[in-house]
Amino acid sequence: MAEPRYITGKKPHAREKRMIFRNVDRAGWNPSIEKYIKDGGYKTLKKSLKLKPGEVTDEVKASGLRGRGGAGFPTGVKWGFIPPNNTKPIYLICNADESEPGTFKDRYIIHQDPHQLIEGILISSYAVGAKIAYIYIREEFPEGAIILENAIEEARKAGLLGKGIAGTGFECEIYVHRGAGAYICGEETGLIESLEGKRPYPRIKPPYFPAALGLYMCPTIVNNVESLCHVKHVMEMGGKQYGQLGTPRNTGTRILCVSGDVQKPGYFEIEVGKLTMGELIEDLCGGMKKGRKLKAVIPGGSSAKVLRAGETYTIRDGDQEKNIGLNDIPMDFDTLAACGSMAGSGGVIVMDDSRDMAWVLNNINTFYAHESCGQCTPCREGSLWMKKITDRMLAGGGVPSDVETLVSVGDNIAGRTICAFGEACSWPTQSFVGKFPEEFKKHTKRRNVGKALNPEAKVASASLMDKD
C-alpha cells in the first residue's frame, strides 16, 4: 500500500492519523473498485472469511470499538445481543442518515471511499450472520446513493457480492434505500420503521431491541457508516492492535467535524482521547476569528450539552479527582461524558463572543421542533413549546418566568420519552439556559416588538405587551 498524497490545500494536519479518511481528498484517487483493490482493498474481507463469524465478533470486541454514530456503544457487544438460538433471517443496516447538526463525516466516506464502507458492511454481515444488508442513506445525498449503487455493482462483478463471495460459501446482498428528509430516521428503530415503509416512529425498548426484534421483527444490527469502516481496520490489524490506538476504553481513531467561529473549520481524524479541545480549536482549526474570544462549544452534535468557555470540570484521574478546563478536555467518550456533555457524533460547533446564546438555542430548538416525529406527548408538545418561547424572547416579548419555564419544560421531556430524541431536544435548552442564565435573562425585559423571524411569535409577543 502506497503512502497517500493529498490534494493541495487539503493535506491532513500533522496531529491527524488518517485511517478511515485515508482516501478522502487523496490526490489521483477516485471511488472505483480498481483504485480500491490496487490500494489493497478487499484483502481484509478475504482474510476475515477464513475465520469463523464468532471469531470476527471476538476481534471487534477485543478492539474496544465504540459506535461512531452518537451513542458510543461498544460495537462487539451490540453484535453479541443477537439471540443465540435464532432461526429468523438476520439483517445488517448501515445507518447513512447523517443528520446530526454539526456532523459531516459519513458524507465523505460515501462519496469518496464507498468501497471501504462496502468492505466493512460485508465483514460485519459475515460476523453477525446477515445475508441482506441495507444502506439507509439520507435523501439529501442523491449523488452518494448513485455512487454507492455503482460501487455495489462493481463489487458484484468482482465476485465480492451476492452468492459465493470471494469463492467462499458466504452470500450477501446490499441494497441502497434512500430516506426522505427526517432526522428521526437516524434513530435505529425509527430507521427500521422507515425501512418497513411506515412512519418512522421509534419503537419502545423493551421489548423491541433491534438485535432481537428489528427489521420485520427479525434480529437486526444497525451500525453507523464510520463504525462499519472501523470494523474493516480492526480486522486488518487485529483487535488487540487496534486497541492500542487511542486511549483505554476509548480506542481507535475518530473523525471530528469542526464548524462555527473558527478560522479553519473542517474534518480531522484523530486518535480518540489523544487530542484536547484546546489543541483542536487552536492548532487544527487555526484558533478563533480575529479579535474574537471563545464563548461556548458544543462538542458532539447539537444534541450534546454545551460547554462554556472558562468552565472547569472535576474528573477522575485514576484514584484521584482533578480539575480541568475546557481547553484541556481530551476528545474522547468518557471524559466528555464526565464533563457533563458527550462525544456524540463528533460534530464540534464553536461559538465566539459575537453570538447571542438565546439566538443559538432558538436555532437548535427550531431544528428539534421541526424534526420531532410527534409520536409521544412530551417531545411532540414540548419541543415546539420551547421553540415558541425562544422565538418570543428573540422577538422582544420575553417575560421573566420564561427562563424557569424553559428549563422546566426541558426537565419534563428528558427521560420520559420513547427514544433519545427527548434528551436530544431538551439537553440544549437545559444546558444553554443553565450555563448562560444572564443571556436569557436579558431577553426577558420587554422591549418594542421588533422583526421576528416567526410571525406567530410577533403576535404572541404583542399580546403580552398589551398585558403590561
102 binds other proteins per the rule CB under 8 A: yes
Radius of gyration over alpha carbons of the chain, in Å? 23
Task: Select the residue interacting with other proteins from 74, 162, 265, 287 (CB under 8 A).
Answer: 265
Q: Which is nearer to other proteins, 60 or 174 (CB)?
A: 174
CB 68 → other proteins: shortest distance, Å?
14
Task: Select the residue interacting with other proteins from 55, 58, 140, 149 (CB under 8 A).
Answer: 140
427 binds other proteins per the rule CB under 8 A: no
CB 146 → other proteins: shortest distance, Å?
9
In the beta sheet, which residues pair with residue 91?
132, 220
Nearest to 135 by CA among 181, 164, 178: 178
267 binds other proteins per the rule CB under 8 A: yes
DSSP structure string for 392-412: HHHTT---THHHHHHHHHHHH
Segment contacting other proteins by CB under 8 A, of 159-167, 174-182, 228-236, 244-252: 174-182
Task: Select the residue interacting with other proteins from 164, 248, 415, 437 (CB under 8 A).
Answer: 415
CB 167 → other proteins: shortest distance, Å?
25
Q: Which is nearer to other proteins, 139 or 317 (CB)?
A: 139
432 binds other proteins per the rule CB under 8 A: no
Indicate the angle between helix axes 455-466 and 377-394, nearest 10 degrees: 70
291 binds other proteins per the rule CB under 8 A: no
Q: Which is nearer to other proteins, 165 or 389 (CB)?
A: 389
Task: Select the residue interacting with other proteins from 82, 351, 357, 407 (CB under 8 A).
Answer: 351
> In Å, what is the CA distance from 435 to each residue of 6, 162, 385?
41, 53, 21
Indicate the angle between helix axes 114-128 and 53-63, nearest 10 degrees: 120
Rounded to a whole number of angstroms, the distance between the first and last alpha carbons of the chain is 73
Nearest to 91 by CA among 188, 235, 233, 9: 188
Q: Which is nearer to other proteins, 42 or 440 (CB)?
A: 440
Query: Which amino acid is residue 127, in one-letter code?
Result: A
Q: Which is nearer to other proteins, 135 or 324 (CB)?
A: 135
Q: Contact at 8 Å (CB) between 116 and 157?
A: no
Task: Select the residue interacting with other proteins from 115, 232, 392, 443 (CB under 8 A).
Answer: 392
Segment contacting other proteins by CB under 8 A, of 16-24, 220-228, 415-423, 443-451: 415-423
47 binds other proteins per the rule CB under 8 A: no
Q: Contact at 8 Å (CB) between 96 and 145?
A: no
182 binds other proteins per the rule CB under 8 A: yes
Tell me how far the alpha carbon of residue 250 is from its chain's centroid.
16
Task: Select the residue interacting with other proteins from 363, 444, 462, 465 (CB under 8 A).
Answer: 363
Tell me how far the alpha carbon of residue 70 is from its chain's centroid.
4
Tell me the CB-side half-sphere exposure of residue 13, using CA atoms within 13 A: 21
CB 232 → other proteins: shortest distance, Å?
22
Q: Contact at 8 Å (CB) between 361 and 118?
A: no
Segment contacting other proteins by CB under 8 A, of 26-34, 67-75, 323-331, 382-390: 382-390
Count of residues in the chain: 468
101 binds other proteins per the rule CB under 8 A: yes
106-110-116 Cα angle (round to 5): 100
Task: Select the residue interacting with other proteins from 138, 254, 295, 305 (CB under 8 A).
Answer: 138
**What is the distance between the alpha carbons of residues 234 and 116, in angstroms, rounded to a whole number?**
13
133 binds other proteins per the rule CB under 8 A: no
Segment contacting other proteins by CB under 8 A, of 5-13, 32-40, 246-254, 346-354: 346-354
Task: Select the residue interacting with other proteins from 9, 84, 167, 206 (CB under 8 A).
Answer: 206
Q: Which is nearer to other proteins, 207 or 291 (CB)?
A: 207
Q: How many CB atoms lie within 10 A of CB 50?
A: 9
* Residue 297: all three cell numbers together: 462549544
Task: Select the residue interacting with other proteins from 16, 106, 113, 154 (CB under 8 A).
Answer: 106
Nearest to 128 by CA among 76, 177, 74, 189: 76
376 binds other proteins per the rule CB under 8 A: yes
150 binds other proteins per the rule CB under 8 A: no
Query: Which amino acid is residue 261, in one-letter code?
Result: D
